């Protein structure tokens, strides 16, 4: 088998198996070389088209299908894996390193899956490998969050499989391709399965629940793969599905309210992940060639700036032991580099000119505007101001500035700084030179021009006036203070209401059973009393006659027979 | 909470980088924070007025070139983006503040 036939992702999966055997410098080199080799393999060796067809019963499994859409995700997944591996290089925990590599490999494999069954296998593999990154925190809280995460993720896979089985029965085709919208039970099941991983409204809580509980380095891995794989799946199977437009618009707008009042800064980032996914979902829903390009470009950009933000907050957590806004502040004095990188990530997610968000998100907004969806457009604009508020300002402000918490720590370790530096350089590089990213997009030619005078001016007006709003509210002490708290979200339904309903049902069943037993016992007592009355010692039916009286009666009968016989 | 500089996640690599008598920073002085605040106001007002002029000029030029203009009428309202950003953000924060009354619970609400 030639190297060009090796499926993308398998280098990471096979490479993961060697990690526990290596030590010291060799291990560090291996951890960086494997994702780098995977990227080189994908870009220079893997040809377009389908490969590795395996037969299963009467169906053909296409293990590898390479096209321009898959290449966008494959490329950025490899880059993100390299950056995350570098960020986690200091880690002395084989379980996390192996799990992370298997997870990344599975996600890449899923992107290049050509049929639904192969996709399903990788889909579940991402779930069962990534949960170890949550569990590796080792706290009771993390273990519980990990279990909830695993249930949701595996559940998504089960729905996917159910939908696929129905789909194959109806169409006889296993090809992982455009389903032409949500129009029957099969496509609905697949849609919901993908919606869970893409964190649709009411299906989103696993994200804010599990990501902040994962380890410092684990969250960086998690932030890249699962949700963006789901976006890829939606872009592949449901482009132009109109349902995605309101769903995506809701996703951009509602998490920002939670992000404003959330104290755990990694949870704030989880909410902003949700918000950014919304933009991508809207892009898929619009479904034009340009809007799919916008989604692909924004997924690419988002993976970089979201990793960067999670890395900077991870570095803060690593050094100070907390990621709570109420405990932090003034860290720019002791972690200036981390602070600078965080600000670059914050500017990128806010789509400031000269950063990656500016050249990617605006493609989607332009397409919404071209389609004349005024309400959706206004919601996305509101969400753009909102994301600047909670991720662009709140994250750097409360961690690195605000009031000085008195915390003095060392700057983040060198490997973390280099990883953040690479991500930051890419955020700015894409923002300044969007050409290479646009050339990678699935629908060519991509002719969007981000740097026009009106675009730059209006975007600066929007963002700086949003910054002014933050400053004014802070200046007059109207801005809500950061408080140690838990904010209820939809997960309350299954973490509190669900168990409460179950235990109420339990109590109801117990009392019904108790009542039933009482009624049954009373009935039984009544029956026994009746029987006792008639058959008891005083009962009519229970009178015993002596044996002698029977003999007398037999004698009388015999006598009567004798008399009759002889007469 | 203050963290002892010698006490951190990684014991090998976490001594305080600065000594106890660190020099005061520019942002430590309240006058300077006030300066930043005032500068932000100045930049925003300039951007509102100057930006509006630039937008009209660009709009005029693109019309001359036969280009289609804004997709939505409200985009051409004066200061639309700036005021939308400002009012949207204030509304967001005030609404979130109200939301807190409804949603905020103790940190250990879920018992773990």
Tell me which residue in B5, B44, B93 faces A408 most closely, judged by beta carbons: B5
Assess contact for A359 and A347: CB atoms under 8 A. Answer: no
Identity of the residue in B85, B96, B103 whose CB atom sits nearest the CB atom of A462: B85
pTM confidence score: 0.85
B25 touches chain A (CB under 8 A): yes
Q: Are A209 and A91 in contact (CB under 8 A)?
A: no
Which chain A residues have a beta carbon less than 8 Å from that of B90? 469, 472-473
- Percent residues over pLDDT 70 in chain A: 99
Q: What is the mean pLDDT of residues A509-528?
A: 93
The lowest-confidence range among A117-131, A470-484, B42-56 is A470-484
Percent of chain A surpassing pLDDT 90 = 48
pLDDT confidence of residue A60: 80
Whether A467 sits inside 8 A of B40 (CB atoms) is yes
Is the pLDDT at A263 greater than 60? The verdict is yes
The answer to whether A434 and A353 are in contact (CB under 8 A) is no
Kindly identify which residue of chain B lies nearest to residue A474, measuring between CA atoms: B37
Q: Name which of B5, B51, B71 is nearest A372 (Cβ-Cβ).
A: B71
Structure tokens at B59: 């709009």
Shortest Cα distance, chain B CAs vs residue A414, angstroms: 11
Average pLDDT of A64-77? 92
Q: Where are the domains of chain A?
A: 1-238, 242-482, 506-566
Whether A321 sits inside 8 A of B3 (CB atoms) is: yes
| pLDDT at residue A309, rounded to an integer | 94
CB atoms B89 and A385 under 8 Å: yes
- In a mutational test of the A interface, the residue from B81, B97, B100 whose CB has the highest number of chain A CBs within 10 Å is B81
**CA-CA distance, B76 to B83, in Å (whole number)?**
12
Residue A193 has pLDDT above 70, yes or no: yes
Supply the ipTM of this predicted assembly: 0.78
- The nearest CA of chain A is from the CA of B37 a distance in Å of 7
Q: Do A318 and B13 touch (CB under 8 A)?
A: no
- Pick from A389, A480, A349, A343: nearest CA to B87: A389
Angle at A274 between CA A271 and CA A279, to 5 degrees: 135
Q: Kindly identify which residue of chain A lies nearest to residue B79, measuring between CA atoms.
A: A461
Chain B residue with Cα closest to A335: B17
- Mean pLDDT across A92-120: 92
Q: Which of B51, B90, B100 sits opposite A461 (nearest CB)?
A: B51
- Looking at CA atoms only, how far is residue B46 from chain A in angstroms? 10
CB contact under 8 A, A406 and B2: yes
Cβ B47–A461 below 8 Å, yes or no?
yes
Burial of A295-318, coded b for 16+ CB within 10 Å and e otherwise, reads: bbbbbbbbbbbbbbbbbbbbbbbb
Interchain contact B103–A (C-beta under 8 A): yes
Contact across the interface for B81 and A458, Cβ inside 8 Å: yes
Q: Is B45 part of the contact surface with chain A (CB cutoff 8 Å)?
A: no
Region A86-99: what's the mean pLDDT?
90
A544-553 tens-digit pLDDT:
677 778 888 8
Residue A427, pLDDT score: 94
Q: Which residues make Cβ contacts (< 8 Å) with residue A53, sequence separation at least 6?
A: A60, A61, A62, A63
Both tokens of residue A505? 């049902």
- Report the sign of the C-alpha dihedral through residues B74, B79, B83, B86, in that order: positive
**Which element (helix H / strand E) includes A218?**
helix A218-237
CA distance A529 to A523: 10
* Chain B residues within an 8 Å CB radius of A479: 93
Q: Kindly tell me the burial class for residue A34, based on how many C-beta atoms sit within 10 Å of its own C-beta (0-12, 13-18, 19 or more).
A: buried
Give B63-74 pLDDT, tens digit per residue. 776 655 567 777
Q: Give residue-wise pLDDT tens across range A435-492.
A: 899 999 998 888 888 888 888 888 898 889 988 888 888 888 877 777 777 777 777 7
pLDDT digits (tens, 9 = 90+) for A19-61: 888 888 888 999 999 999 999 998 888 888 777 777 777 788 8
Higher-confidence position of A91 and A232 = A232
| B84, A458 contact by CB (below 8 A) | no
Q: Which residue in chain A is spatially nearest to B68 when comparing CA positions?
A: A370
Indicate the pLDDT class of residue A337, thresholds 50, 70 and 90: very high
Distance CA A285, CA A214 (A): 32
- What are φ and ψ of residue B80, in 5° steps? -55, -50
Q: How many contacts does A have with B, using Cβ atoms within 8 A?
A: 193
Q: How far apart are CA B83 and CA A315, in angstroms?
A: 36
Exposure class string for A505-541: b at 16+ Cβ within 10 A, else e:
eeeeeeeeeeeeeeeeeeeeeeeeeeeeeeeeeeeee
Interhelix angle B80-103/B30-64, nearest 10 degrees: 130
């Amino acid at each position: 088998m030639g190297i060009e036939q090796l499926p993308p992702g398998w280098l990471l999966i096979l490479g993961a198996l060697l990690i526990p055997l290596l030590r010291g410098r060799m291990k560090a080199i291996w951890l960086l070389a494997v994702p780098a080799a995977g990227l080189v393999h994908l870009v220079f060796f893997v040809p377009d088209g389908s490969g590795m067809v395996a037969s299963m019963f009467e169906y053909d499994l296409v293990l590898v299908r390479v096209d321009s859409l898959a290449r966008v995700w494959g490329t950025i997944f490899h880059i993100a894996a390299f950056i995350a591996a570098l960020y986690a290089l200091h880690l002395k925990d084989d379980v996390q390193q192996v799990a992370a590599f298997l997870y990344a490999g599975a996600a890449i494999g899923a992107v290049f899956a050509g049929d639904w069954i192969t996709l399903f296998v990788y889909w579940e593999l991402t779930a069962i490998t990534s949960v170890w990154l949550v569990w590796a925190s080792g706290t009771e809280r993390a273990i519980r969050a990990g279990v909830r995460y695993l249930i949701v993720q595996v559940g998504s896979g089960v729905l996917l499989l159910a939908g696929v089985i129905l789909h194959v029965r109806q169409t006889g085709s296993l090809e992982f391709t455009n389903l032409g919208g949500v129009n029957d039970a099969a496509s609905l099941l697949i849609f919901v399965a993908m919606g869970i991983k893409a964190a649709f409204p009411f299906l989103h809580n696993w994200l804010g629940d599990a990501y902040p509980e994962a380890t410092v380095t684990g969250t960086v891995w998690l932030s890249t793969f699962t949700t963006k794989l789901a976006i890829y799946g939606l872009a592949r199977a449901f482009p132009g599905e109109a349902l995605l437009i309101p769903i995506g618009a809701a996703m951009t707008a509602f998490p920002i309210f939670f992000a404003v009042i959330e104290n755990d800064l990694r949870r704030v980032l989880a909410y902003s992940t949700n918000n950014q996914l919304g933009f991508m979902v809207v892009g898929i829903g619009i479904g034009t060639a340009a809007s799919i390009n916008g989604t692909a470009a924004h997924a690419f950009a988002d993976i970089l700036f979201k990793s960067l933000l999670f890395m900077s907050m991870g570095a803060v957590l690593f050094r100070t032991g907390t990621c709570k806004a109420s405990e932090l502040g003034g860290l720019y004095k002791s972690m200036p580099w981390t602070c600078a990188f965080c600000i670059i990530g914050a500017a990128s997610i806010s789509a400031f000119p000269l950063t990656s968000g500016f050249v990617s998100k605006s493609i989607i907004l332009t397409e919404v505007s071209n389609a004349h969806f005024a309400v959706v457009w206004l919601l996305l604009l509101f969400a753009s101001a909102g994301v600047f508020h909670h991720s662009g300002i709140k994250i750097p402000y409360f961690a690195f500035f605000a009031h000085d918490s008195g915390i003095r720590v060392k700057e983040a370790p060198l490997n973390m700084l280099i990883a953040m530096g690479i991500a930051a350089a890419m955020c700015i590089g894409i923002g300044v030179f969007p050409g290479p990213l646009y050339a990678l997009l699935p629908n060519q030619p991509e002719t969007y021009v981000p740097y026009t005078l009106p675009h730059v001016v209006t975007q600066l007006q929007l963002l700086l006036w949003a910054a002014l709003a933050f400053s004014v509210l802070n200046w007059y002490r109207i801005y809500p203070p950061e408080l140690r708290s838990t904010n209820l979200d939809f997960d309350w339904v299954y973490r509190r209401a669900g168990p409460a309903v179950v235990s109420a049902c339990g109590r109801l069943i117990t009392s019904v059973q108790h009542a039933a037993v009482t009624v049954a016992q009373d009935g039984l007592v009544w029956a026994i009393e009746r029987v006792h009355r008639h058959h008891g010692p005083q009962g009519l039916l229970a009178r015993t006659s002596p044996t002698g009286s029977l003999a007398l009666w037999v004698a009388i009968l015999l006598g009567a027979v004798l008399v009759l016989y002889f007469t | 909470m203050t963290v002892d500089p010698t006490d951190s996640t990684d014991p090998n690599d976490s001594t305080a980088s600065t000594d106890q008598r660190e020099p005061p920073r520019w942002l430590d002085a309240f006058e300077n924070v006030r300066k930043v605040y005032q500068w932000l106001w100045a930049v925003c007002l300039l951007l509102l007025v100057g930006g509006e002029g630039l937008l009209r000029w660009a709009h005029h030029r693109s019309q001359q070139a036969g280009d289609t203009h804004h997709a939505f009428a409200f985009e051409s309202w004066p200061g639309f983006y700036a005021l939308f950003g400002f009012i949207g953000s204030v509304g967001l924060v005030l609404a979130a503040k109200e939301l807190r009354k409804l949603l905020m619970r103790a940190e250990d609400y879920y018992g773990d």
